[in-house]
Chains A and B, each alone.
Chain A
Amino acid sequence: DVKVTQSSRYLVKRTGEKVFLECVQDMDHENMFWYRQDPGLGLRLIYFSYDVKMKEKGDIPEGYSVSREKKERFSLILESASTNQTSMYLCASRDRDGRASYEQYFGPGTRLTVT
């Protein structure tokens, strides 16, 4: 069965801390994504990766970076956390282009609070 896991369900960090959010998928998918979800704004794409060591900016990359050293793992990094980064973070993966489905598979989410 398809599975995307995220390292934490809940996380509380202080302003200025460096924060790592980890995502692992077991489906051998090429594409992985990080979104943030805020009330009234839906899901917004932060970064995505279409291959190991490859990344592209999404709609709201400011304040974030990513790392993809292995195919199954995609990390989101907040270099210096700020209170406006308090949000639900969702990771997703998708099979490579050319396959039949555009469906994305989501992890359970990490609710991050920055105080």
Chain B
Amino acid sequence: SQQGEEDPQALSIQEGENATMNCSYKTSINNLQWYRQNSGRGLVHLILIRSNEREKHSGRLRVTLDTSKKSSSLLITASRAADTASYFCATVLTGGGNKLTFGTGTQLKVEL
């Protein structure tokens, strides 16, 4: 079953613009993670935010978490063509231990 749903499914922007992706989930979480996948490749971990955190930054990435709305957003500032990829949110459920449950992803295209 899908825990996370990303919105939008696809996003196309110009280089230099900001890109925002949203993730909603259904049940209580321990943490939420964002991953990037370049076409036909494995996933790369970007950032993790714990359930008691509201905002986190890493370079050009900013993640927010609203546990009352069961939602998270990933903001990529000053996007580059190299940011073109699919982005997935993944949750570790409270008491879920090892398991990551992934959403269906947002395809981001950054055009020159």
Binding site for B on A (CB under 8 A): 4, 31, 33, 35, 40-45, 48, 50, 58-59, 88, 90, 92, 94, 97, 101-109, 111
User: 17 other contacts beyond A90-B43, A102-B33, A104-B43, with CB at 8 A cut-off?
Assistant: A4-B42, A35-B102, A45-B99, A45-B101, A50-B98, A58-B99, A90-B42, A92-B43, A97-B97, A102-B31, A102-B48, A102-B100, A103-B45, A105-B45, A106-B42, A108-B41, A108-B42
Assembly CA distance A92 to B104 (angstroms): 18
Given A41-B104, A42-B105, A59-B1, A48-B99 contact (CB < 8 Å): yes
Q: How many pairs, one residue from A and one from B, have CB atoms within 8 Å of each other in the complex?
A: 61
Interface size counted on chain B using CB atoms at 8 A: 26
Bound Cα distance from A108 to B45, whole angstroms: 13
